[in-house]
Structure 1
Amino acid sequence: MFASVTSAAIAALTSDSPLFTINIGDFHWTVTVGTVIYLAIAAIAGLLAEFIVGWRLPGGLIGAVIAGLIGIWLFTHVLPFTISGDPTVYGVPIFRALIGAILLVFLWHLITFGAWRHRRPYYRRGD
C-alpha cells in the first residue's frame, strides 16, 4: 500500500499536472509543476551568473530570475545552438540557460559600470 502511494505521488509530481489555478474575470492562469521547475532553474541560473560575474542585478532574487528567464529564452529560441551532453530538466537545457544568464549579467555590468564607478561613498572616514 505504501509503495503504491509513493509511486503515485512521484508520478503526479513528474507529470505536468496543475498545482493551482488563478481566475480573475476573463483571466485564467494555471501554475503547473513544469512552471515551478522552470522558474527554479531560472533562479539558480541567474544567481550563479551573478556570482560568476561578480555583479548584482537590481531587484535581488526577482532580477536574477528575470535574467535566468531571458537567458533561457535567448539561448533556446533566439540563438539556438547545441552543447553535447547538455542536461535538460523539463525541456530546459541547463548549460545554455547558465550561459545566457551569464551573458545578460555581464552585459548589464558593462552598461551600468560607468554609472557606479564615479560615485562617491555614502560616508567618509576621518571627516
Structure 2
Amino acid sequence: MGFIWSLIIGGIIGWLAGLIIGRDVPGGIIGNIIAGFIGAWLGSLILGKFGPETGGFYLVPALIGAVVLVFIVSLILRSMGRNRA
C-alpha cells in the first residue's frame, strides 16, 4: 500500500506543478507521477528535507522541485517545437 500511496502523492505533486506553471505535463498521468518523483528528488537536493511529509515526500521541496522541472521541460519542448516549424 505504501508504494501505491507514493504513486498517488507523486502524481498529485506533478499535477499541481503543471497547474502552477500553467502547462500540462507531457505524458498525462504517468508524466505527472514522473514529474512528482523527479521533482521531489530535485527539490530535496536543492532545498533539503523540511516541511510536512506524506507518502515519502517532503511536500514543500517536492512541489518546488516539480515546478522547476515542469518549467524547464516546457521550455525545452517549446524550443524544440519552434525549431521544427
Please indicate the TM-score interval, normalised by the length of the shorter structure. 0.7 to 0.9
> Which structure ranks higher in relative contact order (CA pairs < 8 Å, sequence separation ≥ 6)?
2
Sequence identity percentage? 41
Aligned to 1:4: none
1:60, CA displacement in angstroms?
0.8
Aligned length: 85
1:119, CA displacement in angstroms?
7.4
State the distance in 1 between where 2:77 and 2:15 align: 18
CA RMSD, Structure 1 to Structure 2 (Å): 2.1
List gaps (5 residues or longer) in structure 2. Answer: none
Q: SS of the residue aligned with 2:24?
A: coil
List gaps (5 residues or longer) in structure 1. Answer: 1-32, 121-127
Are positions 1:41 and 2:9 aligned together?
Answer: yes
Distance change >3 Å, CA 91–CA 61, structure 1 → 2: closer
1:113, CA displacement in angstroms?
1.4
Aligned to 2:24: 56
Are positions 1:81 and 2:52 aligned together?
Answer: no
More helix by share: 2
State the distance in 2 between where 1:54 and 1:117 align: 19
TM-score normalised to structure 2 length: 0.82
State the distance in 1 between where 2:56 and 2:12 align: 16
